Amino acid sequence: MPELPEVEIVRQSLNKKINQKRVKKVVIRNRNLRFLIPNNFKSFIKNKKIIKVDRFSKYLIIHFCEGDYCLIHLGMSGTIHIVDKLKLSKFTNTSFYHSPILPKKHNHIVFEFDNFKVIYNDPRRFGFFQLIENKNALNERFKHLGPEPFDKKFNISYVVSFFKDKSKDIKSFLLDQRFVSGIGNIYASEILFLSKIDPFKQAKLLTKNECKKIILNSKKILHRAIIKGGSSIRNFQDISGTLGGYQKEFKVYQQEGNRCKATGCLGIVKKKIVSNRSTFFCDSCQK
């Protein structure tokens, strides 16, 4: 599943292409996504002008000039492709997950513009589209989620207060979107390695300094991943033919059995499966 940096790359690609454009036509080929596409989906979006594409956590938010929104979540396998009507492009994918070219099957939703199409492809159909009528409804939609790592609300006061008396391990909290929004399995392992914190340490046992490290390194790693274009786990390319490059900088994720990359550390990277999720960590310097 794409995490915050990968969704941000999709946002940037989409915003560059569809900002200030008007949707000419909407085609629905399959309503049966994670949530059923509503009956008014076509009429809600057709002929509306897009003023920007925003993002919160792992959600894309299309802003329309009328003050309403279309929310998109890519789920496990969703990808968004931009197809030019006037010229053939080798790469259509706006991010780095799955095929860099438009697959022949599972094209569920199509937004048509004057000279190009935006196509949502999703083999597993865990992604979804949701129509939001106004700003208050948008805020209500996200009220159950914690702040993003880049948000000023994600500060030492918030983190220390949240962890008070919590017995759950810190790795699980970094994946808990109610605590902080946008971090997934890849970046959680990398954040905890850079912070030199045992991923299985109980949150209530973290020191104030360790909490500060988590805040700082969450911002640092996600920012770096966005700059590097996200993580191309399968070496696929985006619409410009560019590879996501952050996977080249992984310190522990998918590094099981390798020597720790921390200066002076002789530890070995280990992998442990917890709740069907892989956690990667150094058995020496993460205490």
Average pLDDT over residues 164-179: 96
Confidence of residue 97 (pLDDT cuts 50, 70, 90): low
Domain match, 79 and 117 both: yes
In a domain, 55, yes or no: yes
CATH number at residue 86: 3.20.190.10
Q: Catalogue the active-site residues.
A: 2-3, 58, 277
Domain match, 15 and 106 both: yes
In a domain, 226, yes or no: yes
In a domain, 285, yes or no: no
Q: At CA 125, angle to CA 123 and CA 126, rounded to 5?
A: 125
Give the global pTM.
Answer: 0.89
pLDDT at 52 (0 to 100): 97
Confidence of residue 121 (pLDDT cuts 50, 70, 90): very high
In a domain, 194, yes or no: yes
Residues 6+ apart with CB under 8 A from 143: none
pLDDT at 98 (0 to 100): 64
Average pLDDT, the chain: 90
Domain match, 129 and 169 both: no
The better pLDDT of the pair 241, 131 is held by 131
In a domain, 280, yes or no: no
Is 60 exceeded by the pLDDT of residue 230? no
User: What confidence tens digit (pLDDT) does each residue in 10-37 have?
Assistant: 999 899 999 999 999 999 999 999 999 9
CATH number at residue 164: 1.10.8.50
User: What confidence tens digit (pLDDT) does each residue in 261-287 have?
Assistant: 999 999 999 999 987 889 999 999 998
Give the structural domain span for 21. Answer: 4-141
In a domain, 147, yes or no: no
What values do phi and psi take at 218, rounded to 5? -65, -45
